[in-house]
Amino acid sequence: MILTNTETVPGYQIVAQFGLVSGNTVRAKHVGRDIAASFKNLVGGELKGYTELLEEARQQSVDRMKQQAESLGANAIVNVRFSTSAVTQGAAELYVYGTAVQLG
């Protein structure tokens, strides 16, 4: 499965497109991470715990999207878009969508 965020896959010809595929994950951080992050907030820098959490959740979303594309018989997803939003305090939604296509 080839994923791109461009209109086409360079070097390939798109023969058919099957429509929208998407994956969605809502994940919450836990209290322990919260406490660690509040200390980290004093000195600044990367919140490793949060980066990891969001990365994991995003991967799950991508897997779900791929699952949809596979069931359509596609072998690539083009124009992939990510969107992250806070749906409530402490929980983030990782949404990913793209166009399932058949490469020639």
Partner 1 sequence: MKFVQKNLGEAAEVSSGGGDRGIAKEVVALIALSIVALTVIYFAVFAVTELVVKRLSPEQEHELFSVSGSFENSGEVPDSLKAKFELCEEVLDKLKVHEDVPKIEYKLIFFDELAPNAFAIPGGQIAVTRGLLNSLDEEISIAFVLAHELGHFVQRDHLRGLGQNLGFGICLQILFGGEVDLLTQGAANSVTAKYSRGQESGADDFGVQCVLAIYGETKGAEALFEVLEEKNTLPAWAYMFSTHPDNQTRIRRILEAKAGKK
Partner 2 sequence: MENAELIELSLAYGFPICLLIFTFFIGRYLERAHFKSIRERETLTNHLPAVPSVSVDPDVTVAESKLVTASVVVSLDYFKKFLASFRNIFGGNVQSYQSLLDRAKREAILRLKEQVPDCDIIINLRIMTSNISSVQTRNKGIGGVEVLAFGTAVRYQSAP
**Binding-site member from 25, 57, 58, 62 for partner 1 (CB under 8 A):** 25
Tokens matching residue 90: 């402490």
Residues 75, 40: Cα–Cα separation, whole Å = 43
Subset of 25-84 contacting partner 2 (CB under 8 A): 25-33, 53, 57, 60, 78-81, 83
DSSP conformation class of 8: S
Residue 29 in contact with partner 1, rule: CB under 8 A: no
CA distances from 77 to 52, 53, 92 (A): 25, 24, 24
Q: Report the interface residues with partner 2, using CB under 8 A.
A: 7, 17, 19-20, 22, 24-33, 53, 57, 60, 78-81, 83, 85-91, 93, 95, 97-99
